[in-house]
Amino acid sequence: MPDPLSALAELVAGGGVAVLSGAGLSTESGIPDYRGPTGAARKFAPMTYQTFTRDAAARQRYWARSHVGWRVIGRAEPNAGHRAVADLQRAGLVSAVLTQNVDGLHQAAGARDVVELHGNIDRVVCLDCGQTTRRAELDSRLRVANPTFAALAAAVNPDGDVDLADADVAVFRPVDCARCRAGVLKPDVVFFGESVPAERVDRCFAAVGAARALLVLGSSLTVMSGRRFVLRAAKLGIPVAIVNQGPTRGDAYATVRIDAPLGTALPALTQSLRSSVP
């Protein structure tokens, strides 16, 4: 019986692989996950869509914390796992890259046509007029509006949020949309309690349905947002491989299961595939 890495290499070598990635793929870039080894020790309440849209004080708190945390996300670089996925796509073995992450690191590593299931923290949308702008533009406006704001954070959360003292939050001044002058700005990401746009979900289902195999990378599959694609693959008889540190809620459906850091396992996979080519 082949070892798990050899079994994974054999599965990927056939091509037509849809990749579904989660926060565990980005931990080695300095972005912690929610439920894996880097996130388990932290306790915080992620912002919900309902709270953000209804409570001005909650928006002030979010933008103060996110203003600090985004600088960490913005400086993050792709790691060996991201580069391996891009390499597999360039080699014609990966047919689709679907991600639950909002950090844009797949694209920074060279992956193409990435479906960002939960959006991208690098974009900002006005909930009133619908204009989308770059996060760097908002960062500049917030710096001007808060010239003396110098709060620091010890750790950043996967969505770019951080924990700040109430005193720091109280002096922070958010800004409204620069186009319509009064619109509420929100990061172009799916908050807890918010639905993923149906078009994105449909694209992911289509990619999984057309794939020869589904490869899950760095996701605990705790929430249905990602697990539903594993369930669809299993229903269609499409092999599922999972590489993740710690158990996942999709393990029962996996034909190949590897428990290892992504930055180690994926380069080993690409090297194995190169070695097997005559």
Instruction: Identify the three-state secondary structure at position 188.
Output: strand
- Which residues share a beta bridge with 48? 192
The answer to whether 208 touches 139, Cβ cutoff 8 Å, is: no
pLDDT of residue 277: 52
pLDDT of residue 159: 59
pLDDT of residue 75: 86
Any binding-site annotation on 104? no
Q: Pick from 245, 209, 243, 246: which is nearest to 228 by CA?
A: 209
List, by residue number, the catalytic residues.
118
Any binding-site annotation on 163? no
Any binding-site annotation on 225? no
Any binding-site annotation on 177? yes
Any binding-site annotation on 180? yes
Q: Could you report the per-residue pLDDT of 46-75, keeping only the tens digit for each?
A: 789 999 999 999 999 999 999 988 877 888
- Please give the chain's pLDDT, 278 residues, in tens: 579 999 999 999 999 999 999 999 999 998 876 555 444 444 556 789 999 999 999 999 999 999 988 877 888 999 999 999 999 999 999 999 999 999 999 999 999 999 999 999 999 999 999 999 999 999 999 999 999 987 755 556 655 667 788 888 999 999 999 999 989 999 999 998 899 999 999 999 999 999 999 999 999 999 999 999 999 999 999 999 999 999 999 999 999 999 999 999 999 999 999 876 54
Backbone phi and psi for residue 77, each to the nearest 5 degrees, phi listed first: -115, 150
**What structural domains does the chain harbor?**
1-31+78-118+196-278 (3.40.50.1220), 42-75+121-189 (3.30.1600)
- Nearest-angstrom CA–CA distance, 261 and 200: 28
pLDDT of residue 129: 96
pLDDT of residue 272: 92
pTM listed for this prediction: 0.90
